[in-house]
């Protein structure tokens, strides 16, 4: 029996890649649940499987074995169009390299997914302006990515991820390409969005600063959970399993 | 942001490459419009020469005359029939044909004597306006003749020179008389150029002892845009006892050549555009490979493969539309110039023919809706075909590998 508060659930998930003649097991029989409103970090050394787990939760990659559920929907049961719709409506992505569309302004990058959802232009405009203000980009709406700093670009990426009010934001090394001041500012922002708006964040990260702020830290090694700790209070750590 | 704006910005993103691609498409479209207009000019000239200089739209003969053009195979009621045709809205002129030998000095040649209906021939054909030297026939000059240009060369005669005609009249007597060259025709076709001697019908009747009838009635529609088959049927209904053929039946080889010329234009368009397609394919593939990460992200945030295909197609169509506009204008301007001025090929040869029909050595373009629309339409079709692979490549990208593509 699974509680309905689990926004993400992985059941005995494995992922095997073919690398030349070698088979690489990136994720090995992994099971976990992420609760609604969590601020959770997947961490571990390179090759531990954290990005692969994130990709499978985001429906970007399929597991070789096992099941991935998002809001109790089995991702394996969805076809390409349904997966695309799920990503559009229920998941926000933040990437290490920002990955904004370079010909679009900050406003248009944030607006893009809303337009895909078919939201009327007026409502799009109100929501995008409010979201850009929320992430601290008021006045920069018309700037293109090449006219903004790395931190500003990542804020646009966060705005794009949250503007649709997704069930979960998956952030892959979101602070890896920015300086520490900017990283702190970005984390402040995401923490605020989590605490004030209840948006669930799931990070894959090496960054100690992310881990320090996470409510839950899942340590991965060789595709398995090495340690899963829940921090009840900032600074205090409790092993979950 | 509207997908059209996104496509336009993507086109302008690498404007050098877009300009080269669009320029190549525009240039090819312009060249093809000019080529199509020149081909249409050639066809129009050939058809005009075949129909308006010689055949007419249709001809009436006694059954068997075309296979065996016998002097006695006459349309006995030719004058009445021609008058009846004219009263039904057609232009109609009687013609008489005889064969014999023409001689001038020491030169001689077998010739076809052509009796011309001076009152009506000008309403059927434009031969009277196709005189290279001298004048057309005159009703009051029974001994004045007009001859083909190659015959003039064969007989080594010029204006005012005398020619002796010798043949057999219908009564079995020797038909011979002395005529003076009053005109030499421009090139019409091999048969006319080499052998035709034009003479007025009264002079023909005197010479060949044929007081009435005619071998042929040439018919022309009043409205050149009306249906040829329908016109032939109407003429046949008015002359049920005779054989009626339209010019396409009389010169099937020429008709087929003209029909095939349309196909030839399309083949040329396709061959040229295949080269353009490789440029489009290359440019769009480069554009897709440069943006693999971007497509990966777009798919990650919920863009469907069809949206990606639509975007790539729109980018190509934006460039194609610009190319079609620019190429269309350029091609139209060039074709318009050659409509007025033509390409003078007379210094290359003394005469040109297409399927045995002489054409004007000044090759003029003729702009038709088809000569504009075919190259433009094919440009869009070829561009659409060329971009199938890049569009599918972008649409089928796996977002997980595209996002991390380096």
Q: What is the pLDDT along chain A (241 residues), one digit of tens a residue?
A: 444 578 999 999 999 988 888 888 899 999 999 999 999 999 999 889 999 999 999 998 989 999 999 999 999 999 888 888 999 999 999 988 888 999 999 999 999 999 989 999 999 999 999 999 988 888 999 999 999 998 899 999 999 998 998 989 999 988 888 788 888 888 888 898 898 888 899 999 988 989 999 999 999 999 999 999 888 645 444 555 4
Q: Least CB-CB distance to A84: which of B6, B13, B299?
A: B299
User: Is residue A25 included in any domain, yes or no?
Assistant: no
| For residue B350, pLDDT beyond 70 | no
Q: How far apart (Å, rounded) are the C-alpha atoms in residues B261 and B36?
A: 10
Give me the percent of chain B exceeding a pLDDT of 70.
96
Decide if A116 and B1 are in contact by the 8 Å CB cutoff.
Answer: no
B45 vs B385, higher pLDDT: B385
- Judge whether A3 lies within some domain: no
Chain B residue with minimum CA distance to A84: B302
The answer, yes or no, to whether residue B269 has pLDDT greater than 70, is: yes
CB-based contact A99 B400, cutoff 8 Å: no
Considering the domain boundaries, does residue A1 fall inside one?
no
> Has residue A30 been placed in a domain?
no
Total number of residues shown for chain A? 241
What's the total number of domains in chain A? 1
Indicate whether A229 belongs to any domain.
yes
Instruction: Give Cβ neighbours of residue B174 (< 8 Å, ≥ 6 apart).
Output: B166, B167, B168
The confidence band for B349, taking pLDDT boundaries of 50, 70 and 90, is low
Residue range B37-43: mean pLDDT, rounded: 86
In this structure, what token pair is assigned to residue B380? 């869009």
The residue written with tokens 């920015």 in the block is A178
Residue A207 lies in a domain: yes
Residue A4 in any domain: the answer is: no
- Nearest by CB to B399, from A60, A115, A116: name it: A60
Chain A residues within an 8 Å CB radius of B303: 84, 88, 116
Can you give the residue range of the structural domain that contains A216?
35-62+84-239
Q: Does residue B129 or residue B358 have the better pLDDT? A: B129
pLDDT tens digits for range B55-94: 899 999 999 999 999 999 999 899 999 999 999 999 999 9
pLDDT class of B354 with cuts at 50, 70, 90: low
Say which residue, B111 or B40, is predicted with more confidence: B111
What is the pLDDT, as a whole number, of residue A236? 45
Task: Tell me the C-alpha distance between B291 and B252, whole Å.
Answer: 57
Diameter over CA atoms, chain B = 102
Residue B290 pLDDT > 90, yes or no?
no
Q: What is the pLDDT of residue B3?
A: 82
CA distance B316 to chain A (A): 17
DSSP characters for B22-56? HHHHHHHHHHHHHHHHHHHHHHHHHHHHHIIIII-
Share of chain B above pLDDT 90, in %: 56
**Is residue B189 scored above 50 in pLDDT?**
yes
Q: Tell me what the mean pLDDT of segment B220-226 comes to.
A: 84
Q: Does residue A108 form part of some domain?
A: yes
CB contact under 8 A, B9 and A104: yes
Give the ipTM. Answer: 0.84
- Measured in whole angstroms, the distance separating CA B133 from the mean position of its chain's CA atoms is 26
Residues B231-268: pLDDT tens digits?
999 999 999 999 999 998 998 887 888 788 778 888 88
Q: Output the pLDDT for position B103.
A: 95
Check residue A80 and give its pLDDT: 83
pLDDT at A198: 86
Which domain CATH number covers A134?
Answer: 3.40.50.300
Residues 6+ apart with CB under 8 A from A98: A145, A150, A153, A154, A156, A157, A177
Looking at residue B189, what DSSP letter applies? Answer: B
Find the CB nearest B302 among A85, A95, A103. A85
Q: Reduce the DSSP state of residue B380 to 3 states and report it.
A: helix
């Amino acid at each position: 029996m699974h509680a309905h508060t689990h926004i993400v659930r992985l059941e005995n998930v494995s992922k095997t890649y073919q690398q030349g003649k070698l088979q690489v097991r990136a994720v090995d029989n992994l099971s976990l649940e992420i609760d609604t409103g969590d601020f959770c970090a997947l961490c571990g050394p390179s090759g531990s499987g954290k990005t692969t787990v994130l990709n499978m939760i985001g429906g970007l990659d399929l597991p070789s074995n096992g099941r991935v559920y998002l809001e109790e929907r089995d991702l394996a049961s969805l076809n390409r169009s349904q997966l695309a719709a799920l990503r559009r409506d229920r998941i926000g992505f933040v990437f290490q390299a920002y990955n904004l569309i370079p010909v679009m302004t900050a406003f248009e990058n944030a607006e893009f997914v809303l337009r895909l959802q078919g939201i009327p232009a007026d409502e799009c405009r109100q929501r995008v302006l409010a979201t850009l203000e929320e992430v601290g980009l008021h006045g920069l709406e018309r700037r293109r990515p090449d006219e903004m700093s790395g931190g500003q670009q990542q804020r646009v990426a966060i705005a794009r991820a949250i503007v649709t009010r997704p069930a979960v934001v998956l952030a892959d090394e979101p602070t890896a390409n920015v300086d520490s001041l900017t990283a702190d500012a970005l984390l402040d922002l995401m923490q605020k969005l989590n605490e004030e708006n209840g948006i669930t964040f799931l990070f894959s990260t090496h960054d100690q600063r992310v881990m320090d702020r996470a409510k839950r830290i899942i340590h991965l090694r060789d595709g398995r959970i090495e340690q899963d700790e829940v921090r009840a209070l900032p600074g205090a750590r409790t092993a979950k399993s | 942001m509207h997908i059209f704006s996104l496509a336009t910005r993507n086109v302008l993103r690498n404007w050098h490459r877009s300009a080269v691609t669009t320029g190549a498409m525009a240039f090819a479209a312009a060249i093809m419009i000019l080529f199509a207009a020149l081909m249409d000019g050639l066809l129009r000239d050939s058809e005009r020469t075949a129909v308006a200089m010689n055949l007419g739209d249709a001809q009436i003969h006694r059954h068997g005359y075309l296979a065996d053009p016998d002097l006695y195979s006459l349309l006995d009621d030719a004058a009445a029939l021609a008058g009846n045709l004219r009263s039904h809205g057609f232009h109609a002129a009687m013609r008489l044909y005889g064969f014999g030998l023409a001689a001038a000095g020491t030169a001689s040649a077998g010739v076809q004597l052509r009796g011309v209906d001076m009152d009506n021939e000008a309403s059927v054909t434009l031969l009277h306006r196709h005189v290279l030297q001298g004048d057309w026939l005159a009703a009051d000059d029974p001994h004045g003749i007009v001859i083909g240009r190659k015959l003039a060369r064969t007989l080594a005669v010029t204006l005012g020179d005398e020619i002796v005609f010798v043949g057999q009249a219908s009564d079995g007597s020797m038909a011979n008389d002395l005529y003076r060259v009053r005109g030499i025709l421009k090139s019409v076709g091999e048969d006319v150029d080499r052998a035709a001697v034009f003479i007025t019908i009264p002079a023909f009747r005197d010479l060949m002892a044929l007081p009435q009838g005619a071998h042929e009635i040439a018919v022309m529609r009043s409205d050149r845009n009306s249906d040829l088959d329908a016109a032939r049927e109407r003429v046949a209904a008015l002359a049920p006892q005779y054989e009626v053929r339209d010019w396409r039946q009389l010169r099937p080889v020429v008709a087929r050549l003209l029909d095939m010329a349309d196909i030839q234009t399309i083949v040329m368009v396709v061959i040229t555009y295949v080269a353009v397609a490789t440029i489009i394919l290359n440019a769009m593939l480069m554009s897709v490979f440069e943006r693999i990460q971007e497509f990966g992200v777009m798919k990650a945030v919920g863009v469907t493969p069809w949206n990606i295909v639509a975007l790539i197609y729109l980018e190509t169509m934006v460039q194609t539309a610009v190319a079609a506009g620019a190429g269309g204008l350029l091609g139209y301007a060039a074709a318009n110039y050659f409509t007025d001025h033509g390409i003078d090929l007379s210094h290359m040869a003394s005469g040109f023919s297409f399927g045995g029909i002489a054409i004007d050595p000044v090759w003029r373009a003729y702009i038709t809706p088809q000569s504009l629309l075919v190259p433009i339409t094919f440009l869009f079709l070829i561009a659409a075909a060329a971009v199938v692979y890049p569009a599918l490549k972008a649409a089928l990208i796996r977002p997980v590998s595209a996002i991390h593509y380096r």
